[in-house]
Chain A
């Protein structure tokens, strides 16, 4: 094995998710049941691809939790086009797209020296754009983890 180019391109989480869905479709793997009781059929003809099955399942289950259900290609394109208006480094844009920050403090943690490079209004406008394209629906359903920490405090 020879590594020709270690890092040819970056991929956003969304692109990876789409590729994995395609692989799962081709192999007719169905992880629709979210319960993690999925059993690997060792007798099936594809059992030699168990490693691929495992990783696609785990990665897509992780990615599923990271963005809204209404995520679509054109929305990501719009967001990137909007972010292109700022002087952001490629990896910063990529993290914005992957993490979809919802608060100023998250934006500050993604963008290096954010306070000197951008004004607060500019950061706010980024947040507004994210909220506009990917409305956070999850907040209506409080997740268990959040509840736990609340009760302990």
Chain B
């Protein structure tokens, strides 16, 4: 679910943008700073919606740029608990299902929040739900599914220190296991959840 949030910030406008109208320069700078980034405790910032208030720029000694206090509204993606969303299965693991929404990928459905009679089949790399003894429904990779938001987890990502190691492969591995700043725990255990095609 998308929403509008009112945010105020001090934006630095570098001198090479002084030829632009203030609104345009500020808008650009906000988008550079926030677009596609997670704001802690808020959500994923998509883009500026509109500018509400621009105050006069301030100067700092030793810096050619102006600092402008701006109040603006941004489009934020932040689902609420209980919301039903659609996404695609990115990966099936014995621990649960990873879901992607193209622009947001850190969604996880742990096995405890899957259908009661669901089992993981390693051979087929799929979760199988058996609503009764005769039917088995498959949750394959790339299937479009409905899921319900259960919890959101924000992690404070600290900036990385200087990296002195020469080992490139090691760095790649840690990249894959890194904690996302914003993760979502979802569930898939009531009627209406699961593959979109099941319920049509």
Picked from A8, A13, A112, A153, the residue with its CB within 8 Å of the CB of B73 is: A8
Collect the chain B residues with CB atoms within 8 Å of residue A94's CB: 1
Q: How far is the CB of A44 from chain B (nearest CB, A)?
A: 14
Q: Is the CB of A16 within 8 A of B86?
A: no
Q: Is the CB of B9 within 8 A of A2?
A: yes
Q: Is the CB of A11 within 8 A of B75?
A: yes
A residues sitting closer than 8 Å to B (CB atoms) are 1-13, 15-16, 19-20, 23, 48-49, 51-52, 54-56, 58-59, 61-62, 66, 91, 94-95, 98-99, 102-103, 105-106, 108-110, 112, 139, 143, 145-146, 148-149, 152-153
Q: How far is the CB of A126 from chain B (nearest CB, A)?
A: 15
Q: How far is the CB of A130 from chain B (nearest CB, A)?
A: 13
Greatest chain B CB density within 10 A among A11, A54, A99, A153 is at: A11
Q: How far is the CB of A92 from chain B (nearest CB, A)?
A: 10
Q: In the complex, given contacts A10-B1, A10-B4, A112-B82, what are 7 additional A-B residue pairs having Cβ atoms less than 8 angstroms apart?
A: A4-B8, A5-B5, A13-B2, A109-B84, A110-B84, A149-B138, A149-B198
Known: A4-B71, A52-B47. A58 touches B102 (CB 8 A): yes
Collect the chain A residues with CB atoms within 8 Å of residue B146's CB: 106, 109
Picked from B2, B3, B8, B195, the residue with its CB within 8 Å of the CB of A149 is: B195
Q: How far is the CB of B184 from chain A (nearest CB, A)?
A: 15
What are 12 sample pairs from A and B whose C-beta atoms fall under 8 A apart?
A4-B8, A7-B4, A9-B4, A10-B4, A49-B31, A55-B103, A56-B46, A62-B102, A95-B83, A106-B146, A109-B148, A152-B140
Collect the chain A residues with CB atoms within 8 Å of residue B35's CB: 49, 51-52, 55
Q: How far is the CB of B132 from chain A (nearest CB, A)?
A: 14
Collect the chain B residues with CB atoms within 8 Å of residue A108's CB: 191-192
Collect the chain A residues with CB atoms within 8 Å of residue B142's CB: 145
Q: How far is the CB of A21 from chain B (nearest CB, A)?
A: 12
Picked from B5, B9, B46, B138, the residue with its CB within 8 Å of the CB of A16 is: B46
Q: When chains A and B are docked, how far (Å) is the Cα of A74 from the Cα of B32?
A: 34
Any A CB within 8 A of the CB of B37? yes
8 A Cβ contacts from B120-148 to A: 124, 135-138, 140, 142-144, 146, 148
Residue of B nearest to A109 (CB): B192
Q: Is the CB of B3 within 8 A of A7?
A: yes
Collect the chain B residues with CB atoms within 8 Å of residue A11's CB: 1-4, 75
Any A CB within 8 A of the CB of B36? yes
Q: Is the CB of A148 within 8 A of B143?
A: yes
Q: How far is the CB of B140 from chain A (nearest CB, A)?
A: 6
Residue of A nearest to B44 (CB): A55
Any A CB within 8 A of the CB of B39? yes
Collect the chain A residues with CB atoms within 8 Å of residue B80's CB: 91
Q: When chains A and B are docked, how far (Å) is the Cα of A7 from the Cα of B79?
A: 11
Known: A11-B75, A148-B143, A149-B143. A55 touches B6 (CB 8 A): no
Q: How far is the CB of B47 from chain A (nearest CB, A)?
A: 6
Q: When chains A and B are docked, how far (Å) is the Cα of A78 from the Cα of B39?
A: 35
Q: Is the CB of B103 within 8 A of A59?
A: yes
Q: Is the CB of A49 within 8 A of B28?
A: yes
